[in-house]
Amino acid sequence: MSVQLRARSAQLRARSAPLRARTIVLTLCSALLATAATALPTRADAAAPSAAAWEVRGPHGSPTAVVALDPADGHATLAVRRDGATVLEPSPVGLVTEQADFSRGLTYAGRSDRTVTEHYTSPTGKSRMRVVHMTEARFRFRTAAGARLDLVTRVAPDGVAYRYVLPGADGNVLRETSAFTLPAGSNALLGGYRADNELRFSRYDSAATAPTGAYMMQALFQTPGGYALIAESDVDGSYAGAQLTHTADSPTYGLSLWNDEPVQTSGALITPWRALVTGDLATVTESTFVDDLAPASRVRDTSWIKPGPALWTWLAGGKEAGQSLAAQEKYVDYATERGWPYEVVDAGWYFKTDAWDVVDPDWQTDSWMPELVRYAAAKGVGIHVWLHYSLLTDPAEREKWLSTLESWGVKGVKIDFMDSESQERMRWYDEVLESTARHHLMVNFHGSTIPKGIQRTWPQVMTMEGVGGEEKRTNTPEQLASLPFTRNVIGSMDFTPGAFHRPYRPNVASDAGELGLTVLYESGIQNLSGTPESYDARPEARRYLEQLPARWEETRLLAGDPGRSAVLARRAADGRWFIGGTFTGPAHTVDVPVRLGAGRWLVETVTDGPSGLVRETHAVRGGDILAVPVTAEGGFAAIACRAHVGRTTCEN
C-alpha cells in the first residue's frame, strides 16, 4: 500500500496557527530573557490578612493557581484553572512533622512575589535550548504555636508547581497531606507503583473510579480544563520519593512517601516540587517543566558529555557476550560500520566465569576491559560498562571502581538494581552523581527511580530505565502508546528499542513500528538492542538507524491519543526531522499532519510491506496531511527534509 498525500493544508494551517504563534513568541522571548533568575521587588499582598483566597497568574497563556485558606479549620488548598475551566479542584496542601501540624489550624501571615527567568541548555531531552519564564508566589502561614510554613507556588505556561519550606527546626516529616482532586468528567492514564517504576499504564474512563491502590508520580488526566500530568521535581537526599494513592470512587489522589517512613531532617527544610504539567496534549508532551523546576547544573565543564546511539549487546548476546573479549570486539566492529559512537558491555565482564554473579576479586588486573577500550577507541567507539549499584555504596570502593574505569578510558557506566526511592537511596544518588561527574563518566540508571529533574542538575545522566523496556515480556501495544505521554514526558527513557529478533515485542508483526520507537522514545544514549544479524536482514531499518543523530534540538507532537496512538517528530541539528509513530488496533491508514514549518518538504516513510520494510519518498508542503498505512498494532518511521531542486533523498 503506498503512502498518499491528502490536500488538506488549508485546514491544518488554520488548526496549527496558534501553535506557530506560540513558537514565534517563545523564540522572541529566548532572545530577551537573561540567564539567571531575576526577582521582582518583594511586595506585601494587597488583600487584607483575612482574605480567604489568592490567585497566582503566570505569563500570558498560563493556567491560574488559586491558593485558599479555609476559615473554619485553617487548612490550605490549591486549585488550578485554565481559560475558565477547572484543571484541579481545590486540593489539600500541607504536611505534618514531629513537632508541628501544618495541615490545619493555619493563619495567613503574608505573601511575596517574583518572576523566575532562566535560560539553559541540555545535552539530552526533547530540546537543547530551554527558556524558563515563571511567576513565583510565596505564601507564609503560621500555626497557633507560631511554627511557620511557606508554600512556594510557581506558574508557567505549561504547568503549576508547589513546594514547602520550613524555615525552622520542626522535626522529622511524618507525612504530607498533599493531594490532587480531579474535576468531574476527568479520565486517567495510570501506572501502578513499584520500586523500579516498571509497571504498565492503563486507561480509565473515570479518574474517580480507578481501582484502589498506589500509582506512579507520572499520572496523566484529561480534565475539562485540559490535560494534566502529575509529577515531582528536585528530589535529592534531603527527602524521599513519592507515590500517588487512590481509593476507588474518590476524585482525590493522595501522596505518600517511601514506605510511609519519616523524612529525617536536622533544621530548615525545602521539600521537592509537586508539579502539574498542564495544557493541551501537545503542550504536555513537549513540556520541559519538570526539568525547568530543578536546580541548575552542578557540572561546570560539560564538554565530555556526549549523547548518541549505542549498540547494546545484552539482548544480542547475553551473558556469554559479557564475558568474551572476542565477541565484544565484533560488536565494536559493527558499531563502527554503522557510525554509532558507543557500545555497551552489560553484566558479565567482571564476574568469575564459573559464577556470573560473583565479582572477580582481581578484576582490576584480570579484566580484558582495558584492551577492549583501546580497541574500540582506535575505531572511534566509546565503551560503557554495567555495574551493580552495591559496588558503589562504600565510598572507598566507589572511588576504586570509578577511578579505575576512568583511567581505562571507559566513557560511561550503566548502574543497576537500586530498586528504592527511600531517603537513604536518594542520598546514594547524590553521592554517585558527584563521583561520576568528577570522573567524567556518563550514567545510565537501571532498576531506578525516574528522572524528576535530575538531568538538569546532573547533565551526565544520559538516560534512566524506570520503565518496562524491550527486554521485558509484558509490554502491550497500549503501553507503547502510553509512554510518550507519561514516562517520557519527564525525562530520558532507556526502553532499548530495535530488538527486531525478539518474539515477545508487542508490535512483532510491524518492523516499521519497532523502527519508529527509536525516535518516538527519547534517550540520551539510545541503546539499540537488536542483533547485527537482525539489522542486516532489514537493510531499510539499518539504513535508518545509521542516520540517527546524537541528540534532538526540538520535539513536536504531530498526532496522538494517549494509550492508543502517538506520532512525534524530533529535529536534528542538521535541520532534518525524524518521525516515529505507534498505533493500537487493526490495520488502517493514519492521517499525519506535516506540522514542521512552511514550504516544501521531502518525507521518506518506512512502512511494513508484504515482503518487508518499504521506503517511499513524497513531496509535500508544510501543513499538509500525510496518509500513512500501518499494520495491526503497528507503526512507522520517517525522515523529513527541506525539498530543493534535484534533491531526491533525505540522506546526508
- Asked whether 140 and 56 are in contact (CB, 8 A), the reply is no
- What's the Cα-to-Cα distance from 429 to each of 242, 377, 419, 467, 468, rounded to whole Å? 16, 29, 12, 18, 21
Residues 412, 393: Cα–Cα separation, whole Å: 18
Q: Which amino acid is at 621?
A: R
The DSSP result for 579-608, as a single string, is: EEEEE-SSSEEEEEE--S-SSEEEEEEEEE
The residue with cell 485553617 is 74
Catalytic residue among 416, 470, 522, 633: 416
Show Cβ contacts of residue 530 under 8 Å, excluding neighbours closer than 6 positions.
315, 316, 498, 499, 500, 501
- Asked whether 81 and 221 are in contact (CB, 8 A), the reply is no
Count of residues in the chain: 652
- Asked whether 155 and 62 are in contact (CB, 8 A), the reply is yes
Q: How many C-alpha atoms does 554 have within 13 Å on its Cβ side? A: 16
Tell which residue, 237, 284, 164, has the closest CA to residue 566.
284
The DSSP result for 440-488, as a single string, is: T-EEEE-S----TTHHHHSTTEEEE--S--TT-S---HHHHTTGGGTGG
Tell which residue, 344, 401, 416, has the closest CA to residue 367.
401
Angle subtended at Cα 32 by Cα 30 and Cα 36, rounded to the nearest 5 degrees: 85
Q: Which amino acid is at 136?
A: E
- Category of 158 on φ-ψ map: left (φ > 0), alpha (ψ -120 to 50) or beta: alpha
The residue with cell 493563619 is 107
The residue with cell 490550605 is 76
Whether 397 is catalytic is no
Residues 382, 650: Cα–Cα separation, whole Å: 28
Catalytic residue among 471, 546, 553, 591: 471
- Asked whether 242 and 175 are in contact (CB, 8 A), the reply is no
**DSSP H or E run through 20:** helix 9-32
**Grid cell of 323 as nine digits:** 564475558
Percent helix, strand, coil in the chain (nearest 5)?
20, 35, 40
Question: What SS3 state is found at 652?
Answer: coil
Q: Are strands 85-93 and 76-82 parallel, antiparallel or unpaired?
A: antiparallel
- Asked whether 157 and 83 are in contact (CB, 8 A), the reply is no
Residues 127, 491: Cα–Cα separation, whole Å: 11
Whether 608 is catalytic is no
For the annotated catalytic residues, the residue numbers are 416, 471
